[in-house]
Every structure is written in structure tokens, then in C-alpha cells.
Amino acid sequence: MSVNTEKNSGVDNSGGFATVEWRGRRLQLEYQWAGAAASAHPTIVFLHEGLGSIALWRDFPERFCRENGFRGLVFSRYGYGNSTPRPHDERWQSDFMHRQAHEVLPQFLAALGVEKPWLLGHSDGATIALLYAARFPQQVSGVIVAAPHIFVEDISVDSIRAAREAYQAQDLRAKLARFHADVDSAFGGWNESWLDPSFRDWNIEAELAAITCPLLAVQGEHDEYGTLEQVYGIKRKVPHAQILVIPDCGHSPHRDQPDLFSKAAAGFITSMV
């Protein structure tokens, strides 16, 4: 594994590409640093949603870290943004988030010399953060998850099916193309996996009990991709977890209620010093 500092138009001077080895392939993952050059707190690693990328976070990581004196690291997972695209004939299996958490993320962190980070994940990225914390409990300082998925619900499948219809027949493809070098790679990997009938039984509840680090689980009261049972289920398996339900908020607390979410997340991190 190595770090390549070559830049392109999607990465500013504080970022580049990290190379990781995965399943016999060399993947280039774009990354960008955010916030303070140094911080008294561990680095915060931002893990994006199932259709996300560095660019789709917009200015949230930079603003959040700068305002609170944090050092942040944002990256686009395999298949997203300007990272290595997924070949169009490659179908991700139901364990694709496990593989990201257990195989790719540890290499990426090691390549950039990041030890015991905080993980701040959204949606699929939140699930990856939970899986990493469960598998590597001594290698994470804490976890903040927004709109996590721990099992599959009808509301999730219905919304993801609606997203496919919007992608094929409306303007969703054009909107997402601004954030991904290969938009079909990004959308297909996520959408095909979630809509595969075999994914309906996917469930990580049993794995959550291994999480020992501080954990804040946040969900919008009107999340269109999951009910509040997602965060309540975390609380049942991880009794020390703190739960925040945000009113007037959908699937993206950092976009729908950024001030409230930022205050809660920053307060949780600083309270653990």
C-alpha cells in the first residue's frame, strides 16, 4: 500500500490518492484532508453514503472540522467519486459493506498513517463504521453514525427502488454525474446490491455487541430510507450508545439539520477527552 500525491481537478492541494491492494487488484482511492493541520483530538474519518463521494459531502467536513478544531480525512470509496471505478460487470455481493470495513478501510488508514481515528459515517458509510468498530475495537477512538443501516426494511427497499426509477427515467443520473467520474459504476454497485433479493436477509445486529468505543447514533425523524428501529436496534445491542433523533429531518442530518447535527457530533467528541 502506498500514497500517490498526484492531483487532479477533483482533489485540492491537501489531498491525493492512496493505493490499496484488494482481491488481487490495486485500487486508487481519492482522499482530502479537512480542517486543522493539527488537533488535540484523533483524526475524524468521514465515510460517505451509498451514492456519495468526497464532492457530495460538499463543505460539511471542512466546515465541521475547522469550526471545532478537528483534523478530518475524507475519501471516496472504491467505485465512487474519482476513485477506481467498479467494472460494470462486477456485482457486489451482500457482504460488500463488510469487505469495505474489514479489508479496504484498514489498508487505507494504514497507508495514510491514521491511528485510532474517530469514524463519522452516513448511511452505508455509517454501517461500514459500525462494522469496523466491531471487528477492530482497539483501533478506533469512537464512532458517530448518521442514518445507519443494521438490517433491511421495506421502506429502505422501496426508496432504493424509487431511486432506480429516477435514475433511469428522470434526472438523477445527470445530477449524480457531477460527483462521480463513472456515475454508472457508483449507482450500479449500490443499487444492484440493495435490490438483490438475497440482500433482503442482510443483518448485522449480532455483530454490534462487540463495539466497545464511544458511539453516537443519529437519525432523522422522517428518514425515507429507514425507521427509527435502526438506531433503537443499535441501543439494544450496544447499551452504552447514545441516541439522537432529530425532528424535521430526513435521511441526511448533515444536510437537513447541519447546525444541530454538528453541535451534537462535536460535543460528543470533545466530551470524550
What's the confidence (pLDDT) of residue 5? Answer: 36
What's the confidence (pLDDT) of residue 273? Answer: 75
* Residue whose grid cell is 468498530: 133
Return the DSSP state at 151.
B
Could you tell me the residue ranges of all domains in the chain? 2-268
Residue 136 dihedral angles phi and psi, to the nearest 5°: -125, 65
Alpha helices in 123-257 (DSSP H): 124-135, 154-169, 172-176, 183-195, 205-208, 229-237, 253-256
Per-residue CA distances from 238 to 40, 120, 207 (Å) = 27, 17, 10
- The CATH code that applies to domain 2-268 is 3.40.50.1820
What's the confidence (pLDDT) of residue 7? Answer: 37
Q: Is 233 helix (H, G, I), strand (E, B) or coil?
A: helix
DSSP string, 70-97: -EEEEEPPTTSTTSPPPPTTPPP-TTHH
What's the confidence (pLDDT) of residue 152? Answer: 98
Q: Which helix (H) or strand (E) holds 4?
A: strand 2-4
Tell me the pLDDT band of 104, cut-offs 50, 70 and 90: very high
* Residue whose grid cell is 472504491: 78
Compute the distance between CA of residue 148 and CA of residue 127 in angstroms, rounded to an integer.
5
Tell me the pLDDT band of 3, cut-offs 50, 70 and 90: very low
pLDDT tens digits for 188-199?
999 999 999 999
Higher pLDDT, 273 or 145: 145
What's the confidence (pLDDT) of residue 14? Answer: 84
For the chain, what percent of residues have pLDDT higher than 90? 92
Compute the distance between CA of residue 1 and CA of residue 33 in angstroms, rounded to an integer.
19
For helices 60-68 and 258-270, angle between their N-to-C axes, nearest 10 degrees: 50
For helices 154-169 and 183-195, angle between their N-to-C axes, nearest 10 degrees: 150
Average pLDDT, the chain: 94
Residue 113 cell numbers, joined? 498513517
pLDDT tens digits for 61-82?
999 999 999 999 999 999 999 9
pLDDT tens digits for 122-153?
999 999 999 999 999 999 999 999 999 999 99
What's the confidence (pLDDT) of residue 1? Answer: 39
pLDDT tens digits for 20-63?
998 889 999 999 999 999 999 999 999 999 999 999 999 999 99
pLDDT at 177 over 70: yes
Compute the distance between CA of residue 137 and CA of residue 211 in angstroms, rounded to an integer.
6
Per-residue CA distances from 22 to 19, 26, 254 (Å) = 10, 6, 31
Compute the distance between CA of residue 135 and CA of residue 159 in angstroms, rounded to an integer.
29
Do residues 121 and 50 lie in contact, with contact meaning Cβ atoms separated by under 8 Å? no
Q: Is 204 helix (H, G, I), strand (E, B) or coil?
A: coil
Compute the distance between CA of residue 146 and CA of residue 268 in angstroms, rounded to an integer.
13
> Mean pLDDT throughout 93-121?
97
Rg of the Cα atoms in the chain:
17
What's the confidence (pLDDT) of residue 13? Answer: 40
